[in-house]
Amino acid sequence: MLKRIKDKIYKFRGVAAGFLLATVCFVSIQASRQDSYFEVSKNLDIFNNVLKELNTFYVDPIEPGRLIKSGIDEMLATLDPYTNYITESDIEEYEFQTTGRYGGIGANMRKAEDKIFVGDIHEDSPADKASLHPGDEVISISGKEVAGKSIDDISILLKGSPGTQVSMKVKDVFTGAVEEKTITRSEIELSSVPYASLFGEKKDIAYVKLTQFTPHCSRLVKNQLDSLKKLQPNLGGVVLDLRNNPGGLLNEAVNVCNLFIDKGQLIVSTRGRVKEWEQDFKTTLQPWDTKIPVTVLINGASASASEIVAGTLQDLDRGVIVGERSFGKGLVQTTRPLGYNARLKLTTAKYYTPSGRCIQTVDYSNRNADGSAGKVPDSLKKEFKTASGRKVLGSGGVEPDVKVTDDPPSKLAITLYVKNYFFDYATVYAKKNNTIPPAGQFAIDNATFTDFTGWLDKKDYSYKTETEVRLDSFKSAAIREKYFADIENSYKDLEAKLKRDKKQDLEKHRKEISQLLESEIVSRYYYMRGRAEHSLKDDKQMEQAMVLLEKPSGYQAILKKPAN
């Protein structure tokens, strides 16, 4: 009897202790929340009072909207680069970035010195139907002279509700005639799947380029795959190109995975501080094909939703990833209304692929003493396993199964691109040539390359190599430390040896220069789909993806369960 009484006393003490601990924790949490609310309330009062004082007593008139935006932007800059304040005036640009749609004429503009020129034109857009050409000079828009205006100013003048009209006075690049054009705006939707085709010796490999995860993009990918399968019922594989794809909608990433993965499979999980952001996203549709071999192309500019697709197919051993390590963005953003048509896009969660890894590269929660955020070192990256037991790492983007590094652009190519010389010469070329071969076959000949280099003779495309930049720094340091007089002759000899002949540089980088020039010329005849098609010429990463699909033994060897 005594033992039972003691047991009850101990049990009561345990329950009481547990209750007391829970009560203490609850009170602590509540106190913490109250402290947080008080801090927010106190500092909002201070901020409000500062603004009132400035508005009343500052020596010059102030712009409250500009000051507040600056304050909010600086505040958000201490968090991560994906948490942003979106003002009412920025909403249209934000909607375009997330949906690929806007109201306008379907052409972008370029600025050279103080003049504005028509840039790329989208196929079948109002600008295309109004016979605007890349290279046309824009003189005025809706009666307003455009000389000296910024590209942002021009964009505001051109955008508007579908069905409204905008007048443009332009100088035709081909005829030189100045003409007033009235263009009816429409809803412009840039296709997130600009190009798809069959490749390989047997024309049995389906290639699909996906540039962004916009609404319904998974349906576009499926439609293209259906069309290619209709042309070639015996498809041997699929190449999904996600290079330079910055991401977009998470649900569309799930749906793209669903094309190759059975219904009911976990694709990605999100976890945040608030319980409502903790979700599991599973496939909900019947797949397009669960057996066909798949290769996914990625590079350092493949981010977010692109990494969900690549990481998930890798984790489930459903595809082979080819290319370069992806960007490493494992954060999920949600848009919240702020009133007055303003919004806050903020990071609410991290996402995790089926193996449990988060591929976020930069740790924004633990900043260095100078305020910068550092990457997770390789030594601290956790190891995870794919469905078959292959090792994959978290905290650093998606590492490809087959690494194929693309050649970085030369300084010469960057200089010619930035100065618009590829664009300008393509305008000259289009004046002289009514047609060119198909985009995938087009190549400039020796005569055209010679003509281009001759055309460049009177242009300034000087640039400095990394060696020359370092030599300049060395000279500055030597002068500062008073050593330069002793080494001046040696310095001049070295400087002379580094002087380059521009013609030699053009010849040295002939292949790269030719490809960039061809791409610009192709766009004049075949629009953005032509650029996408032409870009696959001499593409090392695409070639490797094709090798894997055309030789299934190599593909299967990569996905095989590792030996113990």
* 304: annotated active-site residue: yes
Q: Are residues 376 and 307 in the same domain?
A: yes
* 329: annotated active-site residue: yes
Q: Are residues 143 and 232 in the same domain?
A: no
Tell me whether residue 316 is in a domain: yes
Q: What is the pLDDT of residues 142-184, one digit of tens each?
A: 999 999 999 989 998 999 889 999 999 999 999 999 999 999 9
Tell me whether residue 201 is in a domain: yes
Tell me whether residue 553 is in a domain: no
Q: Are residues 257 and 176 in the same domain?
A: no
Indicate the pLDDT class of residue 35, thresholds 50, 70 and 90.
low
Give the CATH number, domain containing residue 334.
3.90.226.10
User: Is the pLDDT score of 498 beyond 60?
Assistant: yes
Which domain-ending residue is among 363, 378, 405? 405
Tell me whether residue 288 is in a domain: yes
Choosing from 241, 329, 424, 519, which is the catalytic residue?
329
Question: What's the confidence (pLDDT) of residue 17?
Answer: 41
Tell me whether residue 43 is in a domain: no
- The token duo for 459 is 């242009």
Residues in the chain: 564
Residues 205 and 292 sit within 8 Å (Cβ to Cβ):
no
CA-CA distance, 328 to 394, in Å (whole number)?
9
Question: What's the confidence (pLDDT) of residue 37?
Answer: 75
Residues 360 and 380 sit within 8 Å (Cβ to Cβ):
no
Q: Are residues 348 and 268 in the same domain?
A: yes
Choosing from 197, 304, 306, 355, which is the catalytic residue?
304
Tell me whether residue 374 is in a domain: yes
Which domain-ending residue is among 337, 371, 405? 405
Question: What's the confidence (pLDDT) of residue 276?
Answer: 84
Q: Are residues 436 and 392 in the same domain?
A: no
Q: Are residues 154 and 237 in the same domain?
A: no
Tell me whether residue 9 is in a domain: no
- Spatial CB neighbours of 298, under 8 Å, sequence gap ≥ 6: 242, 243, 306, 307, 310, 321, 322, 323, 324, 325, 326, 398, 400
Q: Are residues 393 and 432 in the same domain?
A: no
Q: For the chain, how many structural domains are there in total?
A: 3
Q: What is the pLDDT of residues 355-378, one digit of tens each?
A: 999 999 998 888 777 778 888 787
Q: What is the pLDDT of residues 88-121, one digit of tens each?
A: 888 878 887 788 788 999 999 999 888 999 999 9
Choosing from 315, 401, 424, 505, which is the catalytic residue?
315
User: Is the pLDDT score of 13 beyond 50?
Assistant: no
Alpha helices in 335-465 (DSSP H): 411-418, 421-432, 446-456
Enclosing domain of residue 298: 195-405
- Spatial CB neighbours of 156, under 8 Å, sequence gap ≥ 6: none
The conformational region for residue 416 under phi > 0 = left, psi -120 to 50 = alpha, else beta, is alpha
* 472: annotated active-site residue: no
Q: Are residues 307 and 422 in the same domain?
A: no
Q: Are residues 432 and 310 in the same domain?
A: no
Which domain-ending residue is among 155, 189, 223? 189
Q: Are residues 246 and 371 in the same domain?
A: yes
Model pTM score: 0.87
Residues 210 and 200 sit within 8 Å (Cβ to Cβ):
no
Q: Are residues 357 and 309 in the same domain?
A: yes
